[in-house]
Structure 1
Amino acid sequence: MATQDQPVKHAETSPHRPGAASLQVRAAVRTLLDEANVEGPVGVAVSGGADSLALAAAATATGREVHAVVVDHGLQEGSSEVAEVAAIAAHKLGVTTAKVVPVQVTGRGGLEAAARRARYAALIEALPNMPVLLGHTRDDQAETVLLGLGRGSGPRSIAGMRPIDWPWLRPLLDVPRSVTVQSCAELGVEPWQDPHNSDPSFTRVRLRSEVIPLLDDVLQGGVVGALARTAKQVREDLEALDALAEDLLSAARLPSGELDVDPLAAAHPAIRRRALRRWLLDLGARDLTEGHLRAVDELVGRWRGQGGVWLPGDLVAVRARGRVALAGSRER
């Protein structure tokens, strides 16, 4: 994977003094770094947009080493020049190093999903063993919650993005996008305007430009904040349920890796399904749907001698002699 570093000796710290918006971004960054117990260097993903530039500036204000990475997706003409300008802007904000990493965007799931996979893989490779700050704001969180609601994929999608999801740290999830824009203005930085952010062929763009304004109009404002608060509340509930599920899984897991049916059968189905999901993922199952989980759960909660449940990857969950096992799997 090709990379290019901007020379540190050309870095210039912005002479502009931080205003209220910049101080708000700084406070959010410091708070999350403290919560995550981060003491050493950090990475920051920089696109050249207002969110990532405000984030980079706030990270440098903590006094630690900050290593910026600009991922060039190559999806637009002149993207390499845009990436170089973003790296230079990050240097002027005081980062220790800035690196441009070109990637190939290919694979399943559409352009947005493929670009996200390529970007995250590039960041992990360029910033190994280091927490990486991402510039997702409260507005991004609201869009994520709406997408989850539309897909009907359960509370995990409604819970949105987590602030701490190692190695990813998202300190701006409670900060409005308008604040990052104002922060850049205070710092004398002109952010790049990504044309994809106004392209209605992308679902997120239509949510941002059409759906959320309409909801604000109908509900008399405050929709973005309400959606972000909802995500936080659901995340807290999920963490509590997951902890109960982990206890149940520990009680049911046998030395062989199979599960004892008795403790599972006595548990609430919602907790049991979470325990089964964790068990299946630990054994290498992927792309599990709600239908898969409910079918496996019926091996415990509605047992009537039925056959095994086939899962993606040529795996099959079966029940025999009071145990549930996963055939064709290998513990990682």
Structure 2
Amino acid sequence: MGPPGASRRTSAAPAGGRPLPRTSAALDLRHALRDWLARYAPTGVVAVALSGGADSLALTAAALAEAEVVDALIVDHGLQTGSDRVAAEAAAAAESLGCRAVRVLPVEVGDDGGLEAAARQARYAALDEAREGLPVLLGHTLDDQAETVLLGLARGSGARSIRGMAEFSDPWGRPLLRVRREATRQLCADLGLHPYEDPHNRATEFTRVRLRTEVLPQLEEVLGGGVATALARTAEQLREDGDVLDMLAGQLLDTATDGPELSIETLTTAPAALRRRAIRAWLLAGGAKALTDKHLRAVDALVTDWRGQGGVAVGGGKPGIRLVATREHGKLTLRFAR
């Protein structure tokens, strides 16, 4: 069952969808989908999050050319006048392309964390509820990855913040992270599709929009091109390295764990990169929220620079009660304190 108000329609189009032209854009997307499906969804049955924009329309067309079965999930955020019409047009496009089933998912967007964050939270919750166990393909491209890396650099939270988006983080799949945005637009043109142009994508009050329209073009001009590709490649390399470090940090965490506490002696002898990753995982598992580099380094100092300092509040508490990491009797502990 989908969220309340969701509609379901089954397409009469044959499996396999509309044939794609043998253009460079079509080949780029087909190769990307073929590679992703082989690694992450060998059954070939997937859902696509379709907004009606060029990226998700092109993704849907390419998925239909490579996957066995494709369902389309369309989230109507209701944030703009006529959003229901945009959703209906996206649904019609999905049916004409050959999706097995099409669902429109109306959602209510709150205000927690700002409009962008609230809309994202509502969207992912609706997609997760409606996907019926299938992986959900998202239309993020190489250009989106480059923007994500730049945002991570601005946060300054280390390699983790510039690892970008993963190709697959169950149930979310991103097959187009090596495909340029211009290729998705070109494929839509090749197919005679008319993507929806979201006015939010031109609203300069959003940081990501200014990165896309101002910062990245200027970097490309100053540095002689290839910046977006280089940023995406850097993210991929850092993610590969980070996965190995996370695995080793998990082993360290297992060794250091003593019930709900961590052994200071075990942590002290570990390299900083592994120790901080292990501490981070322990804090998150204990309920810590919105961890920053400052939090992590302060807790790490309880291990490596112990001078009798007090505990470190790490977020995740309740009204009037803090979640605090402290050092006691050679152990790191995590508890609620007033």
Q: CA deviation at 1:17?
A: 3.3
Which residue does the alignment assign to 2:332?
Answer: 324
- Alignment map for 1:134-145 (pairs within 5 Å): 134-145=138-149
SS of the counterpart of 1:225?
helix
1:239 CA drift (Å):
1.4
What is the rounded CA distance, in whole Å, between the counterparts of 2:193 and 2:187 in structure 1?
9
Paired position in structure 2 for 1:216: 220
In structure 2, the residue matched to 1:301 is 304
Aligned to 1:311: 314
> Quick check: 162-171 or 38-47, which moved more?
38-47
Query: Structure 2 CA distance, aligned partners of 1:160 and 1:15?
Result: 32
**Which residue does 1:185 correspond to in 2?**
189
Deviation at 1:110, TM superposition (A): 1.7
CA contact (8 A) 1:11 1:92 kept: no
Which of 263, 268, 271 does residue 265 from structure 1 map onto? 268
1:104 aligns to 2:112 (yes or no): no
Which amino acid in the other structure matches residue 181 of structure 2?
R
Deviations 1:219-274 (A, max 9, x none): 111111111111111112211221221111111012x2211111101012221111
- 1:288 aligns to what? 291
Cα deviation for residue 322 of structure 1 reads 1.5
Number of aligned residue pairs: give it: 328
- Tell me the secondary structure at the aligned position of residue 83 of structure 1: helix
Match of 2:243 among 239, 254, 270: 239
Q: Which residue of the partner structure matches residue 117 of structure 1?
A: 121
AA paired with 2:159? P
Equivalent residue letter for 2:201: N
Q: Return 240-249 or 164-173, whichever deviates more.
A: 240-249
Name the aligned partner's letter for residue 307 of structure 1. Answer: G
> TM-score, normalised on structure 2?
0.92
Q: Assess if the C-alpha contact under 8 Å between 1:22 and 1:183 holds in 2.
A: yes
How far does residue 325 in structure 1 lie from its aligned partner after superposition? 1.4
Cα drift, residue 18 of structure 1:
4.4
Q: Are the equivalent residues in 1 in contact too, given 2:147–2:212 (CA < 8 A)?
A: yes
Q: 1:243 is paired with a residue of what secondary structure?
A: helix
Aligned-pair distance for 1:31?
0.6
SS of the residue 2:12 aligns to: helix
Note the 1:147-226 alignment, pairs <5 A: 147-226=151-230
The residue that corresponds to 2:51 in the other structure is 47
Residue 83 of structure 1 corresponds to 87
Contact 2:37 2:67 in 1 (8 A): no
Residues in 1 aligned to 2:14 and 2:43: alpha-carbon distance in whole angstroms: 23
**TM-score, structure 1 length as denominator?**
0.94
Q: Which secondary structure does the structure 2 equivalent of 1:234 belong to?
A: helix
Q: Is the 8 A contact 2:145 2:164 kept in 1?
A: yes
Q: Distance in 1 between matches of 2:180 and 2:204?
A: 22
Matched, 1:132 2:136: yes
Counterparts of 1:89 and 1:111, CA distance in 2: 27
Query: How far did residue 23 of structure 1 move?
Result: 2.1
Instruction: Flag structure 1 segments of 5+ consecutive residues without an equivalent.
Output: none
CA distance 1:148–1:16, change in 2 (3 Å): closer
Fraction of identical pairs, as percent: 55
Shift of residue 16 of structure 1?
5.6
Runs in 1 of length 4+ with deviation above 6 angstroms? none
In structure 2, the partner of 1:94 is 98
Instruction: State the superposition RMSD in angstroms.
Output: 1.8
Q: State the 1:298 CA deviation.
A: 1.4
Which of 284-293 and 42-51 deviates more? 284-293
Residue aligned with 2:66, SS: coil
Distance 2:31 2:233 in 1: 19
Alignment partners' CA distance in 2, 1:33 and 1:80: 31
Q: Tell me, what secondary structure is at the counterpart of 1:326?
A: strand
5+ long unaligned stretches in structure 2: none
CA contact under 8 A between 2:135 and 2:170: conserved in structure 1? yes
Q: 1:189 to 1:18 in 2, by over 3 A?
A: farther
